[in-house]
Amino acid sequence: MKLVFHLLLVLCLLTGSLQAQVVKPLVAEEKWPESDSTSKVYTLKGFRHGVNFFPKVKYPEVEYTPGSALTFDKYHTADVMYYWMKKWTEQYPDLLDMYEAGHSYEGRPVYQVTLTNKAAGKATDKPAAYFEGGRHSGEVSAVESTMWLMKHLLEAYGKDPQITQIVDKNAIYFRPVNNPDGHNLYMHTAQFNRSSVRPVDNDGDGLFDEDGPEDLDGDGYILQMRYKDPKGTYIIDPRDPTGRLMKRVEPGKGEYSIESEGIDNDGDGKFNEDGIGGLDLHRNYPENWRPSREATGRGWTQGGAGEYPLSEPETRSVVTFLLSNPNIYIVNSMDTSVPMHLRAPSTAPSSAMFPEDLKWYTLFDGIGKSITGYERAGDVYMDYSGGAGNPLFGHGPDFGYWYYGAIWYGDEIWNTGRATKDYNDDGVIDELDRLIMNDQEYDGKMFSDWKPYQHPQLGEVEIGGWNPKFFTQNSPPDQMEKWVKNEALFNIEMLKHLPELQWDNIEVKRLKAYKQDSTDYQIKVNYRNVGKLPTALRQADLVKIVRPDQVRISLQSSSVEGEKPMAKILPETNTSPQRSGSGRNVNQTTRNAGYAQGGSVNSVTITVRVYGNHEIEGTATVSTTRAGILPEKSFVIK
């Protein structure tokens, strides 16, 4: 008994001690490789047949620790951006909320913010826009554009009347880094990949990620290798006296072959054909999805599609968020590089769209080009392919229009470092002009000169070429702000076109008096859309992602209660003057009002029967899916 007593006493003491302490979680909070300053190695999750870890790299073009201010003369890691998002949430608590919107393949949180004036109403009660970057691992210019826009709206709020009105009347959702796994791999190692780091068998040999690139010379970049090969298809361009520029020639007439920097790890004679990942989050949307392989060999397929629509958690979290927030009207899920204002359709020509919807897209194409200076704007299927009619399946713009009925762009930022003029006055703008531009305007820094290297399989090679991360795929940091700012200004212009509801008047008109001592009154509820876009696109109505505008009137409960009510809201077909016998009498009704075009007045008429000589008070409200709501407005029947 004493033993039992002592055990109980110890248990009670321990319990009391535990109650007085902060209970720590059983599983320690995960430390991600990008945040682990003690390790020089970046390790991936998931099983793959190739290398799963890489040396860490710190690029001079990237800010790895938050500074005193967020500037756009360097790129930023995800951790730096999250620092600023959290800081702004604390600095602007009345405007900004930050939260986890999902998780990546490796389990990282996908952070998102909602920007709106909370005092002016809930975000879900306002028209909304959604801006996203970082779906593709290395297309970090898009990430910076979302951050530039967020910072600009916050800092201009209360100072710039137009920006203040945008934030007051609308909700703006930002997801700067939708693919944090790929983004961090890109920023912290020499590696690059398309999107998700989920292992994939890209070359169909049954192995996953077994032949990725290697940074053989340790300069932090995956460049190119050139080597002497009598069967090669390249020569040194005779126009370039420095011997840097390579020119493709016909088979049998070359002196060199070119491969990306690395080793043939699987011995199949190919270099780097199965690196990290391989899925494309921008081919994983449910609309017009196609598999990467199909059984007949005669059907359409789509590389990088994933196992099934929305198989990837990053894309799935986007779609579920959008479907749960159908007030979102405008989307720009940005990438790099072309540059181009890129939109639906992705699997059909623009003529397949409703003409009244297409006119808005065409308008935004022109507005975008006027702001950014991009030469190209238009649909994926025809305009992006140069008129060839090449479909992209499971593509965001197709989902955005056909499935979600929104204005949806997937803009491409930056020009791949192409020459902007004919530097040598030979009548064409080509790679030689690009090389001259590099020497004259970039002090030669964008091209790494060829340097000898003893390759374990190829023997003597030379490694060199264009900077793949901060010239070809993204702009040099000193040019970045111009590009990301212009893209953000286009997004602001789209925000200015969102619909906006305002009350007009509520008209009460006496229609007819009956001998049974009752009178019918017409209540005409008028409201305006003072914005530019209609309250919904026609496609949104077709796929039932939105409801028609709805007008509701409510009468005082006391006026319709009892055996002899003072008033009754008539159904649209009822003409009987009787007080009873037509079912339960209610004090409110909701009627569809269609969709209000920009700059127009919409009206709904409702008939109310008043019994006897009574003054009846009522209210009206207007509710829309994508143009917000109008608060109650009173009227009196007398």
How crowded is the C-beta side of 564, counted as CA atoms within 13 Å? 6
CA distance 334 to 136: 9
What's the pLDDT at 583?
Answer: 47
* Cis? peptide before 337, omega within 30° of 0: yes
Closest CA to 173 of 102, 123, 110, 103: 123
Angle between helices 355-372 and 477-495 (to 10 degrees): 150
pLDDT tens readout for residues 73-97: 999 999 999 999 999 999 999 999 9
| Confidence grade of residue 585 (pLDDT, cut at 50, 70, 90) | low
What's the pLDDT at 348?
Answer: 97
What's the pLDDT at 28?
Answer: 53
Whole-model pTM? Answer: 0.93
Q: Is 457 exposed, middle or buried (0-12, 13-18, 19+ CB in 10 A)?
A: exposed
What's the pLDDT at 572?
Answer: 80
What's the pLDDT at 373?
Answer: 97
Domain with CATH 3.40.630.10 in the chain: 40-199+277-416+480-497
Specify the fold of 501-637.
Immunoglobulin-like (2.60.40)
pLDDT tens readout for residues 330-346: 999 999 999 999 999 99
User: Looking at the predicted structure, is the pLDDT value of residue 25 above 70?
Assistant: no
Mean pLDDT along residues 272-294 = 97
User: Looking at the predicted structure, is the pLDDT value of residue 578 above 50?
Assistant: no
Residue type, 126: K
Mean pLDDT along residues 28-49 = 92
Collapsing DSSP to helix, strand or coil, 419 comes out as coil
* Cis? peptide before 339, omega within 30° of 0: yes
Class of CATH domain 40-199+277-416+480-497: alpha beta
What's the pLDDT at 562?
Answer: 86
Cβ within 8 Å of residue 638, ≥6 positions away? 508, 615, 616
Q: Which long-range contacts (CB under 8 A, 24 or more apart) does 361-369 make?
A: 361/407, 364/407, 364/409, 364/493, 364/494, 364/497, 365/341, 367/490, 367/493, 367/494, 368/341, 368/409, 368/411, 368/490, 368/493, 369/341
Task: Kindly report the backbone phi and psi dihedral angles of residue 526, in degrees, each rounded to the nearest multiple of 5, phi listed first.
Answer: -115, 135
Cα 154 → chain centroid: 20
User: Looking at the predicted structure, is the pLDDT value of residue 538 above 90?
Assistant: yes
Percent above pLDDT 90 for the chain: 91
CA distance 233 to 247: 8
Q: Give 512's strand partners.
A: 520
* Cis? peptide before 93, omega within 30° of 0: no
pLDDT tens readout for residues 112-132: 999 999 999 999 999 999 999
pLDDT tens readout for residues 174-200: 999 999 999 999 999 999 999 999 999
| Confidence grade of residue 243 (pLDDT, cut at 50, 70, 90) | very high
For residues 514 and 579, the answer to whether their CB atoms sit within 8 Å is: no
User: Which one has a higher pLDDT value, 313 or 584?
Assistant: 313
pLDDT tens readout for residues 447-468: 999 999 999 999 999 999 999 9
CA dist 627 → 214, 377, 414, 527, 621 (Å): 52, 27, 33, 12, 13
Domain with CATH 2.60.40.10 in the chain: 501-637
pLDDT tens readout for residues 322-331: 999 999 999 9
Task: Kindly report the backbone phi and psi dihedral angles of residue 8, in degrees, each rounded to the nearest multiple of 5, phi listed first.
Answer: -65, -40
For residues 261 and 222, the answer to whether their CB atoms sit within 8 Å is: yes
CA dist 221 → 266, 301, 448, 523 (Å): 22, 32, 10, 71
CA distance 208 to 205: 8
